[in-house]
Amino acid sequence: MTAAPAPATPTSAPAPAGNPRSRVVIASLVGTSIEFYDFYVYATAAVLVFPTLFFPNEDPTASQLSSFVTFALAFFARPIGSIIFGHFGDRVGRKTTLVASLLVMGTATFLIGCLPTFSSIGVWAPVLLAVMRFAQGVGLGGEWSGAALLATENAPKGKRGVFGSMPQLGAPIGFLLANGLFIAINAAMPAGADGTPNADFQAWGWRIPFLLSAVLVIVGLYVRFKLVESPVFRGVQESGTVAKIPLGRVFRTSWKALIVGTLGMVATYVLFYFMTTFTLSYGTTGAEASPLVPKVGLGYSRGEFLTLLMIGVVFFGIFTPIAGMLADRFGRRKTLIPTTIGIALFGLTFQFWFAASQGPITVVTFLIVGLSLMGLTFGPMGALLPELFPTNVRYTGSAIAYNVASILGASLAPTIALALWQPDGNIFLVGLYLTIAAVVTLVALLFVRETKSKEFADA
């Protein structure tokens, strides 16, 4: 029995390794949906409840900043996860590593839902929250790359862009699941007329989305245990070209790809976390400054703004696979470069569009445009980043690029936005920050060679 090491052109039948295309799509999509659900549950809670439950002894702005610091912590953990899971993904295989990353992320999320708050154990509450948040980041650090490789290494010829966009769909789906659940809980436990949080929501309602992650993880594990190894990786195993130390090899042989891949993702991350985490904070802050909340926002209730945000995220989901199809037809660069220019221009509109919004129609239009751009830039990345690296370091290389970009683009984005947000509600500098990030990404994309036709069965 000899297996060809280069099954890069599968037919309409199941892939040679035994993975039907439908199973590949579902496994890559379900896993990342669960992972992003876990991540967004935390992001939402970091805005809505963690400042008061875990950092109550600080003024409101300091509490929010402290909450955002724990939010950022996971981004610094993600490169560690990319190194750990990338090592085993390039040496042992994609399937086993994907299962492990899902378990780490899911367990950490479930345990956050069990944590006592500051009122129960004092300073140990934020310490334990930070530990669990770090574990979340480690798990996600290995998840995305494995899912992207699962999709692209099993993709039909000429379809890596659209197949690579399938794990990207996990981002909007996870967001809709997480925040849809928060909206339902908020409807059942509404805030008071003066905006005072519901006592039941503060006591235990916020825990429900974290605890339900256990159910989603079981579903994800079931799907992934039915997979067999990627045929492209099997070819590397059978040819004896598995990298002994993938981390060292990728820095030695693919350092240019690491740089352009990392910088090429910066604008994507800044855009997404501005459009979700920051806009939620700005949108739900009072329309008038007060001693309690010294900055001006749009003054929407939590439920109202989350509903508007979810409408925008639907367009994120729609444009993600559209971008994958465009990347297959026209190329990765020809799709991403115009999109990045659009992001740069969009950043200049923050003050004159979002901050000056006169009603929900204007707000939701702003969110739709921003999150549509997010789909157009995020979709092709599921194919582009894996294509920058050879098979024997592809897991490590794409994971490091993706997750280091999260540090540069997303880890501090909400905190920086909070600092640039002026007390009178002016957010021009927030948008300008996005524009600068887009320029950085645009320069990186100009140095990326077109990878649409790259052969995947390389060593």
Higher pLDDT, 143 or 368: 368
Tell which residue, 169, 174, 147, 203, has the closest CA to residue 38. Answer: 174
Q: How much is the pLDDT for 11?
A: 40
pLDDT tens per residue across span 224-236: 888 777 778 888 7
Tell which residue, 151, 404, 116, has the closest CA to residue 257. Answer: 404
Q: How far is residue 457 from each of residues 72, 148, 231, 235, 250, measured CA to CA in Å? A: 37, 16, 9, 8, 17
196: pLDDT confidence band, cut at 50, 70 and 90?
low
7: pLDDT confidence band, cut at 50, 70 and 90?
very low
Q: How much is the pLDDT for 343?
A: 98
Q: How far is residue 47 from each of residues 21, 124, 377, 385, measured CA to CA in Å? A: 39, 20, 25, 31
Task: For the chain, give the percent of residues with pLDDT over 90.
Answer: 39
189: pLDDT confidence band, cut at 50, 70 and 90?
confident
Could you give the 3-state DSSP secondary structure of residue 132? helix
Q: How much is the pLDDT for 84?
A: 93
Dist. CA 27–CA 24, nearest whole Å: 5
Asked whether residue 112 carries a pLDDT value surpassing 70, the answer given is yes
198: left (phi over 0), alpha (psi -120 to 50) or beta: beta
Least confident of 13-22, 117-126, 230-239, 283-292: 13-22
Asked whether residue 437 carries a pLDDT value surpassing 90, the answer given is yes
pTM of the shown model: 0.85
pLDDT tens per residue across span 246-279: 999 999 999 999 999 999 999 999 998 899 888 9
Round the average pLDDT of the chain to a whole number and report it: 85
Q: Give the mean model confidence (pLDDT) for residues 162-175.
A: 91
Say how many Å lie between the first and final Cα of the chain, rounded.
Answer: 21
Q: How much is the pLDDT for 459?
A: 43
Q: How far is residue 366 from each of residues 262, 273, 351, measured CA to CA in Å? A: 27, 15, 11
Dist. CA 168–CA 319, nearest whole Å: 11
Q: Give the mean model confidence (pLDDT) for residues 370-386.
A: 96
Asked whether residue 13 carries a pLDDT value surpassing 80, the answer given is no
Q: How much is the pLDDT for 375?
A: 97
